[in-house]
Structure formats: C-alpha cells, structure tokens
Structure 1
Amino acid sequence: MEVTKGDTKVWYGILNSVLAIPGARINRTDFLKNNFSKYCTPEQIKLAIENGTLNAKIDIKILDKVADSSIKLHTITATGTSAVAGAPGGFAMLGTVPADLIQYYYHVIIVSQKLAYTYGYPELDGDADDDFLSMLTLFMGVMSGAKAANLALAKLTNELSKEVVKRLPKMALTKYGIYQVSKQVAKWFGVSLTKNTFSRGVSKIIPGISALISGGITLATFLPMAKRLKKNLRENINKKYFT
C-alpha cells in the first residue's frame, strides 16, 4: 500500500509533541561524559565524544553495563507516575492522548537515543530534524518487532561502525532505505492510531499495549522492547570490535 503524507503525519505529529517535553532530546556529549567517566580514561571519553565509543576502544562489557543501566532506569521510571505528564507544553499538547501512553513514548524515545550513543552512533539530533524523526521511528519499529526496520538498522549500524562520522550521513540513510522503511513504520503506527479509537489503534501496534493504557506501563512490556533494540545495535557492531 502506498504511503501517503496523511498516514505519516499523525505519527510524526505525536513524535514532535513528545519531543517538546523537557528531557526528551538527549545531549550526546553529556550522556557520554556522565555515563562513561567512571569506567574510562579522560582520553577515551574525549575520543568517544569526537569519534564514537567504538573508535574510543571502550570494552564491550562497559558498553553493555551502560546500556543495561539505561534500560533499568527507564523501565523503573516508566512504570511510575511521571512528573513530565504535567509539564506545560508537554503532555498537555496532545489533548486526548492518554498520559500513560505518552509517558511510554517519552521513555522509549530517551532510551533509544541512549542505546544508540552507547553502541557508537554519532549525533542523531542534528540540523536535519527529518533524519532524527526517521531514526527514532526506525528504533521504535525494531522495538516493536518490525522485520524491515530490524534489517535496515542492522545494515546501518554495521556501516557506521566502519568509519568515523560526526553526524548521521545522508548517503547511508538513503543507501539502506532508512527513510522509506521509517515511512512504512510511521504509516503502520499512524493508520493504527486513527483506524478506530486511539487506544484501540495502539493496542494493535504493540502486543500488550492495551494494558499500558488501562493500567500504565509495566515491566513486562517496556523491558523486552528495550532489550530488542539493544540486541540489534550490539550484534551489528563491526565484528572486528570483538576481536
């Protein structure tokens, strides 16, 4: 089925609204400094910021430790009552969208950025906002089990691990069909969100998410999805990294 602007507009509108909430956009430099300083030398931190964690030769066990810590933190905070829900210009912007669901997306967006930066990704939130939205959508597609998203991210991760880049290269995004796959994932979310009611649509996208709407975010839903993204990013790092 052809992807139309209307199909994707719903999803990208929600993403942009969630990104307007304070703290949703992760500062890569601050994240790397705050999370790797106790494990790495100042020289490694500097290299990680400039060229990525892989080029800084940070041990894979340390990367896993930081990744697991991020997943644990957001799994715990996502299950509780988020203060962000009442932030001016935040959840209130979405009107009828259930607060529990927006809190879910908020933490998914944050943890996906943290996992990407942990496993060597360059700056995601750059000048081209469309690239950022495409990558976030791709991450969520992987977390939701979309095969096309999983394959596209695997190829991109492997490609990025072979070279030093400051920001996501448009050539690579085009080469591996990131834009097109992200549009398909966005359509998948958008159509489902508008097909019936908001809550019914979402429950068809992610198994078990109807429980999120009625009872909040649970350990059984957020944790495996975050681990799925971690698995994809970790396994598709250049194999030379592990030797």
Structure 2
Amino acid sequence: MAESEDKLYRTTIQTIGAVAKLPIVRVDREAFLRKHFSDSPHLDVILERGPQAVYSVQSLSRKADSIIKTSAAKTSAASFVTGFAGNPTLMVAAGGADLAQYFGFAINVAQQIAYLFGEDELFDGGGDLSEAAQIRVIAYLGAMFGAAGAAGLITQTSTVIGANVGKKVASQALTKTVWFPLVRKVGAAIGMKITKKTVEKSITKAVPIVGGVVSGGLTYVTFRPMGRRLAEVMVKNLNGEFDDHLELNPEFAALADPVPVVVVEPQRPALELE
C-alpha cells in the first residue's frame, strides 16, 4: 500500500512539474488583482494584503463563483495544448494533451481563487515550482477533487490565517517535515485522477451531461463544482472554520521536528463588493 501511494504521489509531482512549466498556466497575482479590482479605491491595500483585507468573505465568495464561470467559459482546449507544440517532452511527462489541459486549467483557476482570498504569489518567477509551492498546488488540487485531508493542508499552508509552513519547508527537505505524510496522502489521491480513464469517470459521475474529455475540450460545468470546492475551503478558513483533522503518521510525527502552527483570528471586513 505504501509503495502504491508513493508511486501515485510521484506521478502527481511529475505531472504538476510538467504542466507548471507552461506560461499559460501561470497567473500573475498583481495583474489578476489589478484587473478585478481596478475600480476599487482600496487597490493599494488589496495588492499589499489581499482582497480579504478589504471586502467581506461573503462578497468574495460571490465574486469567486463569477470568476470560476467566466474563466472556464473562456478557456479552450487549444489555449493549453498549443503551449506543448514546441516541447513535446512536456506533453509526454504530463501524460498527454488532454491531461495537460485538464490539470493546466485546474492549476490556473486554483491560483485565481487563492489570490482572490488573499494568498501569496505561487510562482517565484523561476522555471520550476519550489517545494513550498508544490505543497500549495497539491493542497489546491486536492480540495478541488474533494480529497480527504486537503482542507487541512490548505489551512496549514495558508499565509492569510498565519499557519504558513513555507519557511519551514524552505529550510529542510520536504520529506523531513512533519507534514509530508499528509502531503503524500493528498498527492496520492490526486494521482488516482491522473490517468485519462479515472479523470473521465470522475467527470461523468459529477456531471452526467459530460461524457469525459472529448477533443481536448472541457466545458465550464465540469470545473465549476471543482472551483467551488476550493473556494468553500478558502471561505471556511477566513471564517475560522479550520479543518485540523490531519491524520499524520503518529510514528513519523513523533520523530520529526514539529512545525509551529500559529492561528491568527481573521479580521472581519465590513465592505461588500458591488
């Protein structure tokens, strides 16, 4: 079982690493916030501290739903697949054009949702994701797929609620942190979705009118519930409804250096988005 989990986890890391190399997958945090809050008199605060510092959680939730629908409707199969034309190695590593589009779009939408709720920039400008960023992507995708433990992982990696493990991860190898068993568990759950048949089955079950990945295209109805799952976790975090059921390996946790967790009571913004 452990060997199978490790294999699925490695598949997830490989897929995320390959897809993340595509510029089209990346969302610039500042550009995104400027676009969606260009008419706000509080833009400077939003850029520095995040929209959650200015607007209510409820109004951000409504805006998230609008962004999810709009992004999905505007994204075509060609927009992601085209990026592989000059480097077929990436497509092979990601498991094919359909799978690359699927996860590329999921990571793209996940960033938008995360930035809307105040999270920091995912990409640091380099070609590869840092280990801390990999954890965040695994947490986001896990929440979108409804993987057990993903909500707790987001809670622990969130910069907004003050439980950021980024610095801890940066100072030591990911496999030596107390959070690795949870990361591996969520990553393995995502790995179960990475084969084309598994993805098609999950889509068909969730949205009966969609028969799977057809001609490299995915309609917005496929990603709307996935996006909403992630948005709901972000909303709960800002409301102080933390999921702390982490299910860490007791033996590993006892031997590993504990990661300090500081939970900051979220401020209650008074403004509502128009």
Whole-angstrom CA distance in 2 between matches of 1:74 and 1:92: 27
Structure 2 contact 138–183 (Cα < 8 Å) conserved: yes
Structure 2 contact 6–184 (Cα < 8 Å) conserved: no
Q: Which residue of 2 aligns with 1:213?
A: 213
Whole-angstrom CA distance in 1 between matches of 2:142 and 2:178: 14
Whole-angstrom CA distance in 1 between matches of 2:114 and 2:51: 10
Query: Cα gap change, 1:109/1:188 in structure 2, threshold over 3 Å: closer, same or farther?
Result: same
Q: Structure 2: where are the runs of 5+ without partners?
A: 241-266
Whole-angstrom CA distance in 1 between matches of 2:191 and 2:115: 27
SS of residue in 2 equivalent to 1:170: helix
Q: Which moved more, 1:211-220 or 1:146-155?
A: 211-220
Q: Which residue of 2 aligns with 1:145?
A: 146
TM-score (norm 2): 0.69
Within a 5 Å distance, the mapping from 1:1-243 to structure 2 comes to 1-2=1-2, 6-38=7-39, 40-41=40-41, 44-55=42-53, 57-60=54-57, 62-78=59-75, 80-87=76-83, 88-89=85-86, 93-95=90-92, 97-126=95-124, 129-154=130-155, 156-157=157-158, 160-163=159-162, 169-171=166-168, 179-190=180-191, 193=194, 198-203=195-200, 208=205, 211-214=211-214, 216-239=217-240, 240-241=267-268
Whole-angstrom CA distance in 2 between matches of 1:203 and 1:177: 34
CA drift of 1:191 comes to 5.6
Structure 1 contact 156–172 (Cα < 8 Å) conserved: no
Q: Which residue of 1 aligns with 2:249?
A: none
Q: Structure 1: where are the runs of 5+ without partners?
A: none
Whole-angstrom CA distance in 1 between matches of 2:131 and 2:169: 15
Whole-angstrom CA distance in 2 between matches of 1:100 and 1:5: 24
CA drift of 1:145 comes to 0.9
Whole-angstrom CA distance in 1 between matches of 2:89 and 2:119: 32
Per-residue Cα deviation, 1:179-206 (whole angstroms, up to 9, x for no partner): 432322222333664xxxx323434666
Whole-angstrom CA distance in 1 between matches of 2:87 and 2:232: 31
CA drift of 1:234 comes to 1.2
TM-score (norm 1): 0.76
Number of aligned residues: 229
Per-residue Cα deviation, 1:118-176 (whole angstroms, up to 9, x for no partner): 1111222238611111111111111111121123324554xx4345x9x86434999x9
Structure 2 contact 57–238 (Cα < 8 Å) conserved: no
**Percent of pairs with identical residues:** 23
Whole-angstrom CA distance in 2 between matches of 1:85 and 1:65: 30
Structure 1 contact 37–45 (Cα < 8 Å) conserved: yes
Q: What residue identity is the alignment partner of 1:138? A: A
Whole-angstrom CA distance in 2 between matches of 1:2 and 1:10: 14
Whole-angstrom CA distance in 1 between matches of 2:16 and 2:86: 14
Of Structure 1 and Structure 2, the greater helix share is in: 1
RMSD of aligned alpha carbons: 3.4
Whole-angstrom CA distance in 2 between matches of 1:59 and 1:192: 34
